[in-house]
Structure 1
Amino acid sequence: MRRMSLEKQFLELLTHQKRYSEHTVRSYEKDLEMFNVFLSNEHLTFDTFQFQDARNFLSFLYDQGLKKSSVSRKISCLRSFYNYLIRNGHIEKNPFLNVPFPKEEQHLPDFLFENQINELLESLDKNSKMYTRNRAILELFYATGIRSEELLTLTLDRIDLKMGIIKVTGKGKKDRLVPLNEHATDAINEYVEIFKDKIIEHDALWLNHNLRPLTDRGLRYVVNDLMKKSAIQTGLHPHALRHTFATHMLNSGADIRAVQELLGHESLSTTQKYTHLSREQLRREYLNAHPSNRRDD
């Protein structure tokens, strides 16, 4: 019982003090549940688990067929959980402190081409009750590259439609100003005019079909559903629109440090992955377009 109580306290801390997204907290909760299964199988408790048990735990995770990215997240979750236990005097050492993260496979992020963005916007059902919301969400994602949690925490007082700018709270509760283009400004303005009363009532910019605040899970469902209906590759998530923003900005000649600032990246290396993607796209365009590549030997 003590373990469950501490876990719940840890998740409450992530939710209310650290302001982790609903999706992340839910993932951490599942990570802790899996850790409990391992402890039970090995007849261990969280305070008897030692660094030397970590290798068996990693084997346990890989036996579940998990990807390296999932294993990394579980290590990160448990490292944070044990730091929480240390701060509260429940244990003295963190057995996950020196557990290495698995090396992840390098892959390019998902993104949409410009014609796909146009197809996506043109495919929106104008007769839908939530048409203006859907259009505003897509235009805002594409215009700014903000994260899902940043979009969901926007309120009316953080949007200046006349100046074309929004105030976003990013990771580490750091605020940054992000400009809007005319398409996003017009779309948000049209949406707010229709739903302003409910937006003010809930003090939340984004509403679901029942006119209550849109959740992280609801947002992912909305974006994925819109992509399915547009016949664009399914399985893409809101973050793909962030990747699209970054890729298109760099392809159009934007300074990488400006893109870093707009995305709210702490490290320039995080932004640089989009230059790799841009070069790969350039190579594909070259191979497809240059006459020599179609010439017989």
Structure 2
Amino acid sequence: MSVAVNFKKIVSIESARKRKKGGSGGPPSPPMFGKGLTNESMRELTRRFSKPKTEEDYRNRAIFSILSKTGLRAKELVSLRFSNLVKAPTGETLITFTRKGGKLGFSVLPEESLQAVREYHGILNIKSDIFFLSRPKRNQSTRTPLTTRSLQRIIGAWDVTTCQGRKVHPHALRHTVGQRMLDKAGSIAAQKVLGHSSPVTTAKFYTKPFLDGSEYLDW
């Protein structure tokens, strides 16, 4: 005697979304969590890189210091040079670079970040105009400019995850800076730091999808 058994098909939410994509069900829902890192992860990385000992430590500290203060893109970071430093009439140190789209961009470079780069060069006796360089391969002494691919590997090795649970990557730090600036200083300030052409762009991509209104809704 044979017995027919019916199994219910279990479908993951993610696979259902993929099938639905492109259908007539309307636009997809925005992500619940941001693409950046939590404040706790940023503080943990700050502590981790605070007392460098090795070449890798010094380079990590300098990279993190600049990305966490400027929100530069990966391609912008690896292109930084000492010869592109400019002193503003108001005292700030600016660094110029080629922005996305080929236009000239600039960013305020905090003294602590610039000092971290100088210490990275000094501890290894590096004589180069370029901020970040590769580590010499075995039996070699030459260094080459860091690439965006190698920067991705370096940051990925920091072993932290974004708010969405993904492995950290250079642009996640830009999202972290953008969202933090937007929360604390508003869209105009965030726009200036990130180098967007309009604060509307900044607000569109860096506004949190949720907000705890209880701080303001005290009836």
Output the TM-score relative to the length of structure 1.
0.53
Aligned partners of 1:164 and 1:185 also within 8 Å: no
**Alpha-carbon spacing, 1:228–1:262, altered in 2? closer, same or farther (3 Å):** closer
Aligned partners of 1:224 and 1:234 also within 8 Å: no
**Alpha-carbon spacing, 1:130–1:182, altered in 2? closer, same or farther (3 Å):** same
Deviation at 1:274, TM superposition (A): 5.1
What does residue 245 of structure 1 align with?
Answer: 177
Are residues 1:227 and 2:159 paired? yes
Candidates 100, 106, 120, aligned match of 2:30: 106
Equivalent positions of 1:74-223 (< 5 A) are 105-107=29-31, 108-124=33-49, 126-160=52-86, 163-195=92-124, 197-200=126-129, 204-210=130-136, 211-223=143-155
Deviation at 1:195, TM superposition (A): 4.5
Candidates 174, 190, 194, aligned match of 1:263: 194
Deviation at 1:134, TM superposition (A): 0.8
CA distance in 2, matches of 1:150, 1:177: 10
Partner of 1:165, secondary structure, is strand
Are residues 1:273 and 2:213 paired? no
What does residue 62 of structure 1 align with?
Answer: none
Partner of 1:130, secondary structure, is helix
What does residue 13 of structure 2 align with?
Answer: none
CA distance in 2, matches of 1:272, 1:135: 29
Indicate the structure with greater helix content.
1
Partner of 2:52, secondary structure, is coil
**Alpha-carbon spacing, 1:171–1:196, altered in 2? closer, same or farther (3 Å):** farther
**Alpha-carbon spacing, 1:259–1:184, altered in 2? closer, same or farther (3 Å):** same
Aligned partners of 1:250 and 1:274 also within 8 Å: no
Q: Output one character per residue of 1:106-125: Cα deviation in whole Å (capped at 9) or x when no partner.
A: 22541122232110122237
Partner of 2:180, secondary structure, is helix
Percent identity for Structure 1 against Structure 2: 30
Deviation at 1:146, TM superposition (A): 0.8
Q: Which moved more, 1:126-135 or 1:103-112?
A: 103-112
Aligned partners of 1:150 and 1:169 also within 8 Å: yes
Aligned partners of 1:152 and 1:215 also within 8 Å: yes
Aligned partners of 2:182 and 2:207 also within 8 Å: no
In structure 1, give the amino acid aligned to 2:191: Q
Equivalent pairs counted in the alignment come to 184
Aligned partners of 2:187 and 2:202 also within 8 Å: yes
Q: Output one character per residue of 1:234-280: Cα deviation in whole Å (capped at 9) or x when no partner.
A: 5121101001111111222x241232132122343321135531x62
CA distance in 2, matches of 1:195, 1:127: 11
Q: Which moved more, 1:239-248 or 1:189-198?
A: 189-198
CA distance in 1, matches of 2:102, 2:72: 14
Computed over aligned residues only, the root mean square deviation of the Cα atoms, in angstroms, reads 3.4
Aligned partners of 1:110 and 1:236 also within 8 Å: no
Q: Output one character per residue of 1:165-203: Cα deviation in whole Å (capped at 9) or x when no partner.
A: 211321122122211234323212322333563424xxx
Unaligned stretches of 5+ residues in structure 2:
1-17, 137-142
